[in-house]
Amino acid sequence: MKKTTTINLAGLVFHIEEDGYQILSAYFKDLKHIFLKQEGGEEILADIEARFAELFTEQLSAFKQVITEEDVNGAIAIMGSPHQFEDEDSEGASGSGQESYFHDAYHRGEKKKLYRDTEDGMIAGVAAGTAHYLNLDPALVRILWIVFVLLGGSGILIYIIAWIAIPEAKTTSDKLNMRGQNVNLDSIKAYAENMGKEAKKGFNKASDSVRRTVSKSSSGVNTVAGAVLKVFGGFILFIGIISLLGILFAFFFNSSEINFNGSNVRTDVKSLIDLFFFEQTLSFLMILIVSAVPILFMIVFGARLLFGKNLKVRNFSLGLLGLWIIGIIGIAFFGIKSGLDFKEGYVSEEKIFIESPYSQLSLRLFEDDIAVENILDYDYDNYLSLNNGIVTLGYANLEVLTTEDSLFYYTVEKKSNGGTVKVAKDNADGISYELALKDSTLQMPIRYQFPKENKFRDQKVTVKVFVPIGKVLVLYGDLEEYPIKIRTVEKFKKKDVSNTSKWTATERGMVKN
């Protein structure tokens, strides 16, 4: 049984064996004797203490809660002896030798850790940290980020995710690990002294000196890269402003037609949102935030590339990120709430017999009471329009089947969803759709309607035409692109209805004449 004591290192509490504590106390006593005489000594000691806390934390587990004498000696072996600095010439230690140390450490190829370098960063330090990790020039990495931004804006989302996922290099230990340097007394002392030297010279960041030392031979490349970055920055800034104006126009001005889900929708954004979500105002605001924030982030990114580090945007960028996260959470909440209204489904069916004993029936498609003669003039994808509180959808599905009855007949199936079966039924009953028979021609509307207050709950209409065996159905026009199915003897091919076609019902199915 060994006696233990409690210590505090860098704000963390550790239980340590008495023998190990005596060794550690003597070690830090020697450190204070050496470093407190130097400028910035307190910062050096704080960094060393933080490193010891990190090493001790790695030794602890659920089965080990006490730092042993062996753990202390192991950490000291990693950090090095303080006595190596007693006879050091302070001027030489802070001169070119330190720069050489950083230059050598930069190229040793030691294992690095990925951090965000906010000291050398332009926005959140993602590019600068990635450059350290990959041993590349930060300018080249920033150009790659710009390329990602130009590829559909994906770079913005990737950057935000990296911003959240990659930790910031805050301590000296983090900054040394970020550059692939061993974290010991040598490197901490060298880093601190290099920082002091740069402060005296009037520079803000010691990393500037490191980068200049490493890449003196590539200064011309950096100059060209800097010019390219400014051009890219101006381009991104321009695109971002135009995109933001476009979003604001789409959200706040009534537009007769917008693109939704790959289809042209005749309505405005606010009405479209109200058609899907319950809380129109809040949903509108959340969707606006999620749509606009990446564009604002693009503008900030472009402005920072164009105008340089003098443009302070870090707090503004963090605010945008927080706002964007709130928007995502809001959309998820309202989306789930609205999605629950799709839980139940209901299908109503109306069966209509054609009383006249026709031997041949024709079927024509109609749009707004006008016969569609040439389907090639129409794009039969999903259709949606909203006007005067009435929603118009398209297109009604068409199926052709055979029947043993002696008369032609058709059914109209109206389908919808709702939070309950009753609501789903009410939504289905709210669909307005009727076919008309003129002589021996069945006129089928290609679109159907329902009131806006029912909201979109996957309302659909399917018309099934049943042809008595031995009788003929004529399908007018080109229906190759229309949502049609025919129960045929052989496999149905859409090209069979690319022109006006006649079909005869048999016991095995429909046969094209």
d(CA 473, CA 455) in angstroms, rounded, equals 36
Residue percentage of the chain with pLDDT more than 90: 24
Q: Which long-range contacts (CB under 8 A, 24 or more apart) does 269-274 make?
A: 271/386, 271/452, 272/386, 274/452, 274/455
Question: Can you give 421-474 as a three-state secondary structure string?
Answer: HHHHHHHHHCCECCCEEECCEEEEECEEEEEHHHCCCCCEEEEEEEEECCCEEE
308, 390: one domain: no
Q: Which two tokens stand for residue 346?
A: 């209901």
Any domain includes 154 = no
Strands 397-403 and 460-468: parallel
Contact 320, 300 (CB under 8 A): yes
d(CA 312, CA 304) in angstroms, rounded, equals 8
State residue 99's pLDDT score.
40
Strand partners, 66: 15
pLDDT band at 135 (very low <50, low <70, confident <90, very high): confident
> Any idea what DSSP says for residue 10?
T
Residue-range definition of the domain harbouring residue 370: 343-512
Any domain includes 103 = no
pLDDT at 106 over 60: no
Q: Comparing 332 with 108, which gets the higher pLDDT?
A: 332
Q: Comparing 133 with 184, which gets the higher pLDDT?
A: 133
> Any idea what DSSP says for residue 491?
P
Any domain includes 141 = no
Q: Comparing 316 with 343, which gets the higher pLDDT?
A: 343
d(CA 485, CA 74) in angstroms, rounded, equals 77
381, 445: one domain: yes
226, 302: one domain: yes
State residue 103's pLDDT score.
40
Any domain includes 20 = yes
Q: What domain count does the chain have? A: 3
What is the CB-side half-sphere exposure of residue 391 using CA atoms within 13 A?
26
Any domain includes 134 = no
Q: Which two tokens stand for residue 222?
A: 């950096």
Which of 296, 332, 334, 289 shows the shortest CA–CA distance to 316?
Answer: 296
Q: Which two tokens stand for residue 213?
A: 């030392």
What is the full DSSP assignment across 242-253?
Answer: HHHHHHHHHHHS
| Average pLDDT in the chain | 79
Q: Comparing 243 with 474, which gets the higher pLDDT?
A: 474
Give whichever of 23-37, 166-180, 373-387, 402-416 has the largest mean pLDDT.
402-416
What is the full DSSP assignment across 305-365?
Answer: HHH-TTS--HHHHHHHHHHHHHHHHHHHHHHHHHHGGGSEEEEEEEEEE--S--SEEEEEE
State residue 254's pLDDT score.
64
pLDDT band at 214 (very low <50, low <70, confident <90, very high): very low
388, 244: one domain: no
Contact 77, 27 (CB under 8 A): no
> Any idea what DSSP says for residue 167?
P
Any domain includes 9 = yes
**Chain CA centroid to CA 227, Å:** 30
Contact 269, 251 (CB under 8 A): yes
Q: Which two tokens stand for residue 88?
A: 């050091």
334, 366: one domain: no
d(CA 56, CA 287) in angstroms, rounded, equals 47
pLDDT at 309 over 70: no
pLDDT band at 87 (very low <50, low <70, confident <90, very high): low
Q: Which helix (DSSP H) or strand (DSSP E) does residue 410 occupy?
A: strand 409-418
Over residues 399-426, mean pLDDT: 95
End-to-end CA distance of the chain: 100
- Among 59, 87, 115, the domain-final residue is 87
276, 385: one domain: no
- Among 297, 313, 341, the domain-final residue is 341
d(CA 454, CA 430) in angstroms, rounded, equals 8
Q: Which two tokens stand for residue 4?
A: 């233990």
- Tell me: the pLDDT tens digits for 257-274? 554 444 555 667 787 888
Q: Let me know how many helices (H) and strands (E) the chain has, helices first.
A: 16, 20
500, 475: one domain: yes
pLDDT at 297 over 80: yes
**Chain CA centroid to CA 473, Å:** 51
269, 313: one domain: yes
Does the global pTM surpass 0.85?
no
- Tell me: the pLDDT tens digits for 154-201? 566 677 778 778 888 877 777 777 877 766 666 666 666 665 554 445
Contact 109, 180 (CB under 8 A): yes
Residue percentage of the chain with pLDDT more than 70: 75
Strands 12-17 and 66-67: parallel
380, 456: one domain: yes
Q: What single letter denotes the amino acid at residue 165?
A: A
Over residues 200-216, mean pLDDT: 44
Any domain includes 505 = yes
d(CA 280, CA 50) in angstroms, rounded, equals 52
Contact 267, 258 (CB under 8 A): yes
For 477, phi then psi, to 5°, come to 90, 180
Strand partners, 260: 263
The count of other CB atoms within 10 Å of the CB of residue 492 is: 16
d(CA 118, CA 127) in angstroms, rounded, equals 10
363, 392: one domain: yes
State residue 461's pLDDT score.
96
233, 331: one domain: yes
- Among 341, 364, 383, the domain-final residue is 341
Helix, strand or coil for residue 179?
A: coil
319, 458: one domain: no
Any domain includes 282 = yes
